[in-house]
Amino acid sequence: MREGIILEATKVKKKFGGFVALNDIDLTIRRGERVGLIGPNGSGKSTLTNCLCGAIKPDGGSVSFAGQTIDGVSAHERARLGIGRSFQLPRPFHSLSLLDNIRVPLKYVVNRRAGHRMSEQDISTRAAELLGKFGLGGKAGRLPRDLTQVEMRKLELARAMATEPTLLVSDEAMAGLSNSEVDEILGLLMALNEEGVAIIFIEHIMRAVMVFSERLVVLVAGQKIADGLPKEVIANKHVVGAYLGE
C-alpha cells in the first residue's frame, strides 16, 4: 500500500446496457481525508459509490482498500473491512426501533471482526451511545416512520457509523434540509472526521461542499473532469462550463 492511502480505485468502469455510467474513474483517498464529490444529477456519483462499497460490480478497473484488492469482495465484507456508507434514500429497517436499527450493524458487522466480542448488553449500550451522539437519544424506542426528515438523515449516518468505518461515503445526506439542519449534519460529519474517519462527501449544496472539502472531485457524464484543491477546482473553466455554469 502506498503510504497513507486508504482507498485506491483505478480505471473503474460501469455500463448499464450500452450506456457508460462510469468511464475509467481513478480515485485515491488518504486516511482521514475529507473529499467532496460533486457533479450534475446522473453524472455517476452514486454509481461510483456503489462500485466502491460493493453494491454493484464494475465492468472494469480495480478497487483496493487498506492495502488489499477488494474486487469480488461482497458489500457486507467490505463493511467489515471498514467501508461505511449512507444511502441517498435512507434505508432503515422500517419495522425495527431506532435502537435495533443500530444494534444490527454492531452485531453483524462490528462484532464479526476479529477480536470483537460485545455481549448483547454491550451492543445495546453502544447503540444507545451512538443514537445520543447523533441527537436521537430521546427516540431510541421509536420507529423510523416517527422521524422528521433531518432525524432520518441522522439515523442513516448513525447506521453507517455503527459499522465503525475508517472510510465513510456520505451520499447526499443534506438533500431537502434547511440551512440550520445542513449545519447540524456538517457538524456531525466534521466530528466524525476529527475521530479519524476519511469521508467522501457527495453533495449539491456548494456552501457545504466548500466548507467541508479538503479536496474536490468532479464527475460529469461518467468522466472525472477535475480533482484538486476546492478553490482551484471551482475556478477551473472546464468545471464552470460543464457543471457550475450549467
Ligand X SMILES: Nc1ncnc2c1ncn2[C@@H]1O[C@H](COP(=O)(O)OP(=O)(O)O)[C@@H](O)[C@H]1O
Q: Which residues bind Mg ion (CB under 5 A)?
A: 45-46, 88
Site track 88-127 with ligand X (rule: CB under 6 A), x = hit:
----------------------------------------
Q: Could you tell me if 242 and 225 are in contact, meaning their C-beta atoms sit under 8 angstroms apart?
A: yes
Does 159 contact ligand X by CB under 6 A? no
Residue 165: contacted member of ligand X, Mg ion, none (CB under 5 to 8 Å, by partner type): none
Does 45 contact ligand X by CB under 6 A? yes
Residue 245's Cβ-side half-sphere holds a number of Cα atoms within 13 Å equal to 9
| Angle in degrees, CA 67, 72, 75, rounded to 5 | 85
And the C-alpha cell for 167? Answer: 472510510
Give the largest CA-CA distance in the chain: 56
Of residues 7-36, those binding ligand X (CB under 6 A): 16, 21
DSSP designation for 143: -
Q: Provide the 10 A C-beta neighbour count for residue 232.
A: 11
The distance of closest approach from Cβ of residue 93 to ligand X in the complex, given in angstroms and rounded to an integer, is 23
Among 28, 47, 163, 213, binds ligand X (CB under 6 A): 47
38 vs 136 by CB, closer to Mg ion: 38
Does 44 contact ligand X by CB under 6 A? yes
Instruction: Tell me the CA distances in angstroms from 216 to 12, 80, 219, one per residue in order.
Output: 18, 27, 10
The torsion angle over the Cα atoms of residues 206, 47, 84 and 29, rounded to 10 degrees, is -70
Residue 10: contacted member of Mg ion, ligand X, none (CB under 5 to 8 Å, by partner type): none
The stretch near ligand X (CB under 6 A) out of 43-51, 67-75, 91-99, 130-138 is 43-51
The distance of closest approach from Cβ of residue 213 to ligand X in the complex, given in angstroms and rounded to an integer, is 16
Among 28, 36, 38, 43, binds ligand X (CB under 6 A): 43
Instruction: Compute φ and ψ for 234, nearest 5 degrees.
Output: -75, -10
Residues that bind ligand X (CB under 6 A): 16, 21, 39, 41-47
